[in-house]
Amino acid sequence: MSFFEHQIKARRNTRNLLILFILTVATIVCAVHFTLVIFFHFATADKSSAGSPILRYAFDPEIFLITASVTLLIITTGSLIKIFMLRGGGAAVATSLGGHLVPLDSEEYRIKKLLNVVEEMAIASGTPVPPIYLIPEQSINAFAAGYSIDDAVIGVTEGCLDVLSRDELQGVIAHEFSHILNGDMRLNIKLIGVLQGLLVIALIGRFLLESGSRGRRNSSSRNDSKDGGGMILGLGLALLAIGWIGVLGGRLIKAAVSRQREFLADASAVQFTRNPLGLAGALKKIGGFVYGSKIAHPGAEEASHMFFGNGLGSSWMSLFATHPPLDTRILRVDPQFKGEFTEYSAEYHAPDAGEELTSALSSHREPRSPSQTSLTDSIGNPTPEHLTQARVVLANIPLKLHQSLHSLAGAEAAILSLLTSEEENVRRKQDEILHRRKDKKFIILYEETLQQLPPGTTSTKEFSLTILDLAMSPLALLSPVQRGQFLEITKEFILADASISLFEYMLHAVVKKHLLSESSHTFGSLKLKEFLSSAHSLMSVCSSISSSSSPDKESSLSKAGYEEARRAFKEEIPPVPMAVSGNELELIDQALNSLQKSSPEQKQQIIVALEKIILSDDHVSQCEAEFFRAIAATLDCPVPPMLRNSSKI
């Protein structure tokens, strides 16, 4: 299944689960209505000789409308409050579970091991490196959370770092990256907010139950107890029972979402790392470890569908289990598993640094020849070859520069360094901008970063997207105001020569997309006319870049690529590219602003069209690769690094 098919399926699952949610809400509304009618009947029966006509009240449309409206208002308010609390995306989920941000400059071995694994996975996937949160739990568990790739975070428990080897930790992180790439996170975090509303009735019932108990204890007479505290106690008990409809409905919805996605993430992790024993080893240790994968934090219930392992322990009913049985998951990746778990005590620790190094080296096999899959097929589907390529790219980044990228100032300095001009007069203007905005320490760091970059503009561009991906994690620490200020200074750097190159525009667009990711929280479908206009603009620019960036490419090849891409739109795109000379950046900007609202199906059409134009001569130039990856990144379609030994590059 392709990246876009995963996105489409995730949206389809959302619609299906909405039906189950509506049925649960309808059941709660009816139950609350009849409960209130019954209690009103008994509360007024002894005050009227005729009593209360319970059946007439129960089926009175006006009374039902009132009780239903109030109940829906309570459920909706509960959901909206939780959704508002989660507006911070993945970071909000991690902190709600007691997590704290992992310092990127940590010298602790187990933290450095975790950072190294996450960076490799991110670069191989073509995504920005996500912030990492450490959860203070001794069990083995992890999760990925966020509304989009831009605000995704990875959370791991202390137990993962203490108990798992590097290969096992890599299997767990690869599993979580699968959730990031397959579109699971968005649905998972929305479920937390929406399902909170189903629990509100139970919370009200618990409150009334406690109030009734206090009323009975504090009452001075038996009659007062019966009329006051006793009635509240009974109503609270009834609402608490009704609330369990929401609890069970929520668990059923989460189970429907989670179980098959866990199998898919396991399979993707094995495909990504080509090391099934790493993932299987982590699952086996959960089965034998004294703490297992159980999360003790009170917030574990609402986030149970997001965890790598079952965070709630064994479910008394498999229908409500958020995760498949542990032995079933292991058998799917390790058919030799005999069903026996080695027991590990709380004192067990993963192998030390020397053993880890030996294990890591022994597992790094020589990469196979890369299969000639399309650029589109590689989106969201990184391979072991991409993981190997990521290691090569990371190894080629100077050590001092790599370490500097782990700090906020270092990340800012690196991005500005990529935009630094080689022309002396322009460089002088950029220096003046720095002296107006930054202190001396930052200027020194900026100068040191410039010296660390590979010489020559071409070499620098080759590392630009990798440096951007590494810089996104510390830049996530910027406040909204600071993000705006940083984007402004990058724009000033670009305009220091009174012009914008394609490279400068694409770099700024990617940074802007990652830092201002609110637009990624919602998406729909563009109107056909607006979509076709945006597609025509990008195809025209791509055709122009493809012709100019490859001197050997014949004009006929470029035209053939455009015509083939046009046929994918049922020839509703104009038969010839528009003239783009001098206004390429304006066309790209207008198209990308429009396409932020596009559906996965529309994004797939755009990406496939650009690929057909770029590969019209079966070769991808560096300029074409940068254009393709940057456009895809701004559309939330992560492209893994281009394979060096592919004949296409």
Query: Exposed/middle/buried for 590, CB within 10 Å: 0-12, 13-18, 19+?
Result: middle
The answer to whether residues 617 and 570 touch, using CB atoms and an 8 Å cutoff, is: no
The β-bridge relationship of strands 142-145 and 100-101 is: unpaired
Report the interhelical angle of 61-85 vs 3-44 (nearest 10°): 130
Q: How far is CA 626 from CA 102, 389, 545, in A?
A: 31, 17, 11
Query: How far apart, in whole angstroms, are the C-alpha atoms of residue 548 and residue 290?
Result: 63
- Classify residue 28 as exposed, middle or buried by CB count within 10 Å of its CB (0-12, 13-18, 19+): buried
Could you give the CA distance from residue 505 to residue 278 in angstroms, rounded to a whole number?
A: 41
Looking from the CA of 14 toward its CB, the CA atoms found within 13 Å total: 16
What is the residue whose two structure tokens read 């637009």? 519
The residue count for the chain: 649
DSSP 644: T
Cβ(111)–Cβ(263) below 8 Å:
no
Q: 307 has which bridge partners? A: 143
CA geometry: angle 225, 226, 232, nearest 5 deg: 85
Tokens at 28, concatenated: 């709660």
Which helix (H) or strand (E) is 505 found in, with range?
helix 502-515
Check: CB of residue 270 under 8 Å from CB of residue 219.
no
CA 199 to chain centre: 25
- Describe the strand order of the beta sheet including 132-135 as a list of residue ranges: 100-101, 132-135, 153-157, 142-145
Residue with tokens 């392709």: 2
How far is Cα 454 from Cα 450, in angstroms, rounded to an integer? 9
Strands 153-157 and 132-135: parallel
On whether the CB atoms of residues 280 and 333 are closer than 8 A, the answer is yes
Q: Is 176 a catalytic residue?
A: yes
| Candidates 176, 262, 611, 624; catalytic one | 176
For tokens 């590097």, name the residue.
166
Alpha-carbon distance of 217 to 534, in angstroms, equals 70
- How remote is the C-alpha of 186 from its chain's centroid? 7
What is the spatial distance between Cα 502 and Cα 283, in angstroms, rounded to a whole number? 47
CA–CA–CA angle 128, 112, 275 (5° rounding):
75
* CB-neighbour burial class of residue 183 (10 A; exposed 0-12, middle 13-18, buried 19+): buried
For residue 396, count other CB atoms closer than 10 A to its CB: 13
Active site residues: 176
